[in-house]
Amino acid sequence: RVGTAPYGIALGEDGTAWVATAEGVAAVDTRTRERTALIPYRTDTGPVTTGEYRGGGMGIALSPDGSRVYVGVNVPGGEGTLEVVDTGRRRVTEVVPVGRRPFDVDVSRDGRQVYATNHDSFDVSVVDTGDWTTRRIEVAPYGTEGGLGSWLKPHYTAVRPSDGALLLPFEGERLAVVDPGTGRVRIEEMTANTHQHGVTAGADGTLYVVGTGPIDPSEDDGPSLTVRTPDGGERVVPLDGPHETVALSADGGTAYVSGGFTRDGYWNGLSVVDTATGRVTRVPVGERPLAVAVLGGKGPGGG
């Protein structure tokens, strides 16, 4: 047991899993299956609750050297923060303002930048880990009309291994390719035609994108996993029911897609996808699993 409403998970090379919960960041010894610490947030997130809009930690990531955990903290009704946890001292050392509802947190390969993907403010916060300054890059290929009520907002980001570009999928129609240095956003075509959430990149640059299902069933396609090669070619693997995030095995041969969709329609398990053949095996797992980390070696990609 880690705490109320766990959301994101990051796995250290020492076997410690860091889990973003509504109460704080939990440290878990994956060998003994015991929580060894619960580090409270410095941000005031209100009462501890559950549900899609609850306050507390959402996206979470480790620095390349494992010395820091970065967690996006949701403040209901307000701007979020990025809290920095010293993994040795197990306490928060920095609090940096970011956007609204930081669904995802990613780190550059050199560790100099952290990226918070802010769902409700249509942007990515680029945080410099040297001086903790922040730049905002709007990522809104459909515009920002509809504001908080819009479905057409960023959810999760993958860092492209080849050049550090940020990759954000939208609706199985558009892939936003963001240069975090210049802030330029370029749009590439996608083909799944479904509302998209989780994304991760393999070591070879192949992108894996979770389709949660249609916004409009009369026009959009169902849940799926898109496998997108670096040259833009796509293979769409149909899935049964909504899903949220995806993680890869170390060799890239298996994708684990979580059934704990953030909205209604979740299911209690994983879809295990053979990435070569597209064969899908459904495995019952826990209750509403949102995030997945693969034990037994540091996996490729991020997201």
CA 271, distance to chain mean position in Å, is: 17
pLDDT of 69 over the 80 cut: yes
Percentage with pLDDT > 70 across the chain:
98
Same domain, 53 and 134: yes
Compute CA distances 73 → 20, 129, 144, 288, whole Å: 9, 17, 22, 20
Q: How many domains does the chain have?
A: 2
pLDDT of 158 over the 60 cut: yes
pLDDT of 302 over the 60 cut: no
Residue 235's pLDDT is: 97
Residue 100 banded pLDDT, cuts 50, 70, 90: very high
pLDDT of 299 over the 50 cut: no
pLDDT digits (tens, 9 = 90+) for 231-250: 999 999 999 999 999 999 99
**Half-sphere exposure (CA, 13 Å, Cβ side) for 263?**
11
Residue 264's pLDDT is: 81
Task: State the average pLDDT for the chain.
Answer: 95
Instruction: Supply the CATH number for residue 89's domain.
Output: 2.130.10.10
Residue 281 lies in a domain: yes
Q: Which amino acid is at 46?
A: G
Residue 262's pLDDT is: 86
What range does the domain containing 244 cover?
Answer: 150-303
What is the arithmetic mean of pLDDT over 159-188? 98
Helix/strand/coil for 161? coil
Same domain, 117 and 189: no
**In terms of Cα–Cα distance, which of 91, 107, 46 is closest to 73?**
46
Same domain, 171 and 278: yes
187 bridge partner residues: 176
Percentage with pLDDT > 90 across the chain:
95
